[in-house]
Structure 1
Amino acid sequence: MGLNVLIVDDCQVMRMVIRRTVELCGFEINEIMEAENGKEALDLIRENEFDLIVADLNMPVMSGAEMLAHIKLDAATCRIPILTVSAESNDIKVEIVRELGTEFLHKPFAPEALRNKMLKLLNKDSITNKESGFMVNGEI
């Protein structure tokens, strides 16, 4: 069974980049859904089951940090692995996100860095369905 992934970012281009990177990583994917902010994401999380969430921190309506707090405080969703992908440089904010049990990746990121963080979060040593070979000199 493939992964259900939720990508949460207010920037459409960044959602597209993350989606494309996830697709090219070689993971068996069932469905990838997208949200523009934390509120939209929480609505999707209530209606769907996700194996992984990739989320930005700085978004309008509801920030990624607020969304993370809601997810981690809810017994029904607290075990969903979350990868925070953000340009945030405030060390205190980054540490708070890590203390919430998420992985953190700075934007811009190399595709292999996203892949490696996903492998760690999903407790996998390698891709199980195929080796993707999607990178040439670190580029998609």
Structure 2
Amino acid sequence: MMDVRVLIVDDCPVMRKIIKRTVELCGFDSVEVIEAGDGKEGLEWVRNMDFDLAIVDLNMPVKNGAEMIAEMRVDDNLRYVPVLTVSAESNETRVEIITDITEGFVHKPFCVEALRDKMLKILEKQSIIRPGAAPK
């Protein structure tokens, strides 16, 4: 299959663990998962390391996911990092805006298969768009 490096940004350690386990169950040749507890920490990681996918919660302390994603989308070095938003956000307008600037949105609570399928679709598309773009 392929090697992947995924950044999980969520302030809930239990949620990060569930998402990490879902990534590990996708059947990739190798998986490296980096975890961050808020958008500020997530931005530090994404600025210093190449990721195949960032899975980002919206509602977090310090810097929320929307702020993190907005900063990524205006940064020439980060704008092409695919982002999958996983959030309990219920404001439809906010969800639409986030969906327009990311590769997908999964509502919490989610079924693991739905998250897995979205991740695989995004990563498959990335491997076509950026051959050889998997982590070093």
The normalised TM-score by structure 1 is: 0.84
1:98 corresponds to 2:67:
no
Task: For residue 102 of structure 1, report the CA deviation from its aligned partner.
Answer: 2.8
Task: From the CA coordinates, give the structure whose radius of gyration is larger.
Answer: 1
Query: Which residue of the partner structure matches residue 62 of structure 1?
Result: 63
How many residues are matched?
A: 124
Mapped partners of 1:16, 1:78: distance in 2: 26
Whichever structure has more helix as a proportion of its residues is 2
Mapped partners of 2:39, 2:10: distance in 1: 8
RMSD of aligned C-alpha atoms? Answer: 1.2
Identity of aligned residues (%): 56
The normalised TM-score by structure 2 is: 0.86
1:53 corresponds to 2:54:
yes
Unaligned runs of 5+ in 1: 125-140
Deviations 1:51-102 (A, max 9, x none): 0000100000000000000111111111111110001111011011011133
Q: Any runs of at least 4 consecutive aligned residues in structure 1 with deviations exceeding 4 A, and if so which?
A: none
Query: Which residue of the partner structure matches residue 43 of structure 1?
Result: 44
Task: For residue 39 of structure 1, report the CA deviation from its aligned partner.
Answer: 0.2
Counterpart secondary structure, 1:123:
helix
